[in-house]
Every structure is written in structure tokens, then in C-alpha cells.
Amino acid sequence: MILLSALALGLLIGLGIRRWNNQPYPIPELESLWLAMVAFVPQFFLAYLPATHSLLPNWIASALLSMSLLLFLVFVWRNRRLPGMPVLLAGLLLNLIVILANGGWMPISPQTASQLIDKNVLQIISLGSRFGQKDILLLPQSTNFEFLADRFLLRAWSSYQTAFSAGDVLIAIGAFWLLARPAFTTIKPLETEGVII
């Protein structure tokens, strides 16, 4: 949700300001876009299809999550020259570090999880169990790289609540800047033999 919001806002700003200035919006020239599409497939099955979410064994699900992040890393690395991509790359690396260090899942503390679901429901989820789509419920003292875990929440003004990590913030910033930056640059006019066209 955080990433989708950043993408939508970046595109809205980039496209809006370009249109306001009567300039075309330059679509980022992404290399190996197919890698991003392939990387999204495991996350789609894990997060958005209830059947596969519940049927896949945890070890397969965690392996798919790690594989998805690795593919995204390769895709972003191949496009690292583009604005925002170095920041996005840093965010992906932080998420991958904490996920690999905690058994292939993004850790979340009971305190943070209690802000997302009813506390009575939370009580029946044991520590070390899968929580949501990609998280594992762990005490902070049992978490490796706890400062990189899903530990942040949206403010009370938002009706949609989700936990996110420092890596997620960097990913969102990078994605936003990739799409919004054209609003703050100008297209140079073509020149032919000293005559501006």
C-alpha cells in the first residue's frame, strides 16, 4: 500500500506539472522490465490469493518471498542510473537483510501487531508464527536487526492501517522520485546547425 501510494503520487505530480507546463511526460526507460513482473508473481500468490496463502507450506512461502526480493534487486540494479533507483535499491537491501536474518519473514512485534488486529485474535497467534502475508510474530529481543522490522504505523488520521519498515520507506521514496522527478527537469530543445527547432 505504501509503495502503491508513492507510485501514484509520484506519477500524479510528474504528469500534472508536465501537463501544466505544456511538456510531454518522459516515461522512465526501464531495462529488463520483465524481471520486475516475474518478481511480482510470488508476492501476488502469497498476498492476494487466499487459497495459495493458506495452502503453501511456510518454508516454500518464505523461499518465494526471498526469491522475489532478489529478483527485484537485480531489476533495480540494472536500472540504478535512473533517478530514485539508488534509494529504492537501499530499501530493498535493508528489507532483504532483515528477512533473511529472521527465517525468511519480515518480523513484527506483538505490540505493533496489536495495533492492526483485535487483541483477542492476536492472543491465539503464537510467537514465531506467520502473521499476515509476509510477517512473523517475534518479540523485539528475539528479532535480528529489529530496527529494520515492520515497526512503523500510519498515523490515526488514516483509516487504513498497516505496518511498514525503514526499508519500505526508502523504497517508497525511491519509487516516488523516479516518477516525480521529470516535473522538476526541462526537455532541452533540439538543435540543428546552430538553429533551435
105-157 confidence digits (pLDDT tens): 999 999 999 999 888 888 898 999 989 888 999 999 999 999 999 999 987 55
Cell of 131: 502473521
State pLDDT tens for residues 11-22: 999 999 999 999
Domain count, the chain: 1
> Would you state the pLDDT for residue 197?
40
Cell of 139: 518479540
State pLDDT tens for residues 183-197: 888 655 444 444 444
> pTM of the prediction?
0.87
Q: Using CA atoms, how far apart are residues 10 and 16, in angstroms rounded to an integer? A: 10
CB neighbours of residue 140 within 10 Å: 14
Q: Using CA atoms, how far apart are residues 120 and 25, in angstroms rounded to an integer? A: 50
- What's the distance, CA 147 to chain centroid? 17
> Would you state the pLDDT for residue 195?
42
Let me know: does 23 contact 55? Beta carbons within 8 Å: no
Q: What is the DSSP code (8-state) at residue 102?
A: T
> Would you state the pLDDT for residue 157?
59
> Would you state the pLDDT for residue 55?
77
> Would you state the pLDDT for residue 52?
66
State pLDDT tens for residues 63-113: 999 999 999 999 999 999 999 999 999 999 999 999 999 999 999 999 999
Q: Using CA atoms, how far apart are residues 38 and 164, in angstroms rounded to an integer? A: 23
**Which domain range does residue 18 map to?**
2-196
User: What angle in degrees, to the nearest 10, is found between the helix axes of 58-78 and 85-100?
Assistant: 160
